[in-house]
Structure 1
Amino acid sequence: MTESQPPATGSPAEPSATLSRPTAILDPSACPVTRSDADLPPVPPERLQPAWLRQHLAARAHTTPFLQGDGPRPDFMPDRSPAAASVLVPLVQRPDGLQVLLTRRTAHLRSHAGQISFPGGRQEPGDADVVATALREAQEEIGLLANELEVIARLPVYATVTRFQVTPVVALVSPDHTLQLDAFEVAAAFEVPLAFLMTPAHHQHHSFDNGGLQRQFLSMPWQSPGGEEYFIWGATAAMLRNLYHLLVV
């Protein structure tokens, strides 16, 4: 799940007297980089092991997130009530370390086209809880079955400008899992080393003008061993950054 409006990662400038409707960023990679976080330490390798994550994250669901969200803006969708949503943060257990399973959305979608996201979406009436939502969405989007994974934690809720209250659900995934992508919604699924994403030197801060309001967002650009480039940004990057802060304390 991604949002067209990126999370604020710093204090935005004061809004002008009249703000226009927030607009989607067509090419986030073109937004200027203001800084990276090379001064922050990476998560130690021993904390990126399944056993440590199970024990440490189990009690962290109600921790205040480092990045609480990118909204809502009072002038944007003022009549929409907050809605619950979930994403699955799948950690594939590979011999060389845990890998984060991400998706690239198809280019024809009306919202978030082509963006990098976790499997996820809005909570439906038939979902027992936020975990059930994340598991259902993962099965619908990428064919990942519940018996192929182990849910180990819920991370703190992340609020989006479109008024979704998103709960990231962390799960360990069997290396023998199989995927079946929803061709309408998902263009590709790929893995990124958790160690790469938990190294702040790979985190970039961007700034841009959005409808008269200065906004910031994070990105974690990744190039696969095969040379494919993936620009991980916005809410997806922010939730990964929240995971980083949970693991370094």
Structure 2
Amino acid sequence: MTDIGAFLKERLQKPLPGDIAHKYMMAQPIGQRFKMQYEKPPKNGAVMIALYPDEGKIYFPLMQRPPYQGIHGGQVSLPGGKKEESDHDLIETAIRETFEEIGVKISDNEVIGSLSDLNVTASNFIVKPIISILKKKPDFIRDPREVEHIFHAEVQHLIHPQTLQETELTVAQEVRLKAPFFNIEDKVVWGATAMILSEFVEILKEHYT
């Protein structure tokens, strides 16, 4: 854990793969293309990649949201959400949301940096992925209103080529997409979360390979 923590802390200060890595996991429409337009500027939000050790391996939590009518209902995501006026910055947003959604309290000194911002056009958000290193596996307490299930991605499994797959999805009841995804614990991790993890994977490859 010390090795990857030291590597990431230094690597996150250097130029990041950002847009190139995001595009690897960008879903593409099948048939007619569409463009979403919004009257208001994007809202700011943050998510947390909270790395922790468990039995000699390194994991981070993901969560499946309950099914609902919103754009991200039922999808897999990292803990996180919208920046509130009371949040000092987006690090505080990610820390607060992680505690509210999965019951994990993260301190400022456990945060080691962030990945590239991602413009999530589907929900009109600009999301900053924050990375933290925890000394031990935390206790998880899910908020049943926002989280249906918590599961865990193993870092070295994430970078294995067979984890990366592709499927067809129908969203908003009529839009068909060809979607690259990460198969993690038999869950389809696609969309914005997959794009964020794609950048994380490109950085992890530098460490493990």
Shorter-chain TM-score tier: 0.7 to 0.9
What is the percentage of aligned positions where both structures have the same residue?
24
Task: Verify the 8 A CA contact 2:27 2:178 in the aligned structure 1.
Answer: no
Tell me which residue corresponds to 1:192: 153
1:209 and 1:94, CA in 2 relative to 1: closer, same or farther beyond 3 A?
A: closer
**Cα shift at 1:67:** 1.4
* Number of residue pairs the alignment of both structures matches: 198
SS in 1 for 2:85: coil
- Across the aligned residues of Structure 1 and Structure 2, the Cα RMSD in angstroms comes to 3.1
Q: How far apart, CA to CA, are the structure 1 residues paired with 2:93 and 2:106?
A: 12
Tell me which residue corresponds to 1:98: 58
Q: Would you say 1:220 and 2:182 are equivalent positions? A: yes
**Greater CA drift, 238-247 or 151-160:** 238-247
Counterparts in 2 of 1:105-120, with a 5 A limit?
Answer: 105-108=65-68, 110-120=70-80
Q: How far apart, CA to CA, are the structure 1 residues paired with 2:60 and 2:105?
A: 16
Q: Would you say 1:57 and 2:26 are equivalent positions? A: no
Task: Verify the 8 A CA contact 1:141 1:181 in the aligned structure 2.
Answer: yes
Q: How far apart, CA to CA, are the structure 2 residues paired with 1:84 and 1:48?
A: 32
Q: How far apart, CA to CA, are the structure 2 residues paired with 1:103 and 1:149?
A: 24
TM-score, normalised via structure 1 length: 0.68
Question: Normalized per residue, which structure has more helix?
Answer: 2
Q: How far apart, CA to CA, are the structure 2 residues paired with 1:147 and 1:82?
A: 28
Deviations 1:135-165 (A, max 9, x none): 1110111111124971111100111122211
**Cα shift at 1:208:** 6.0
1:153 to 113, 121, 126: 113
Amino acid at match of 1:139: F
Where in structure 1 are there 5+ consecutive unaligned residues? 1-45, 224-228
Tell me which residue corresponds to 1:244: 201
Task: Verify the 8 A CA contact 1:85 1:121 in the aligned structure 2.
Answer: yes
Counterparts in 2 of 1:129-208, with a 5 A limit?
Answer: 129-147=89-107, 150-161=110-121, 162-206=123-167
Which structure has more RCO (C-alpha within 8 Å, separation ≥ 6)? 1
Task: Verify the 8 A CA contact 1:60 1:155 in the aligned structure 2.
Answer: no
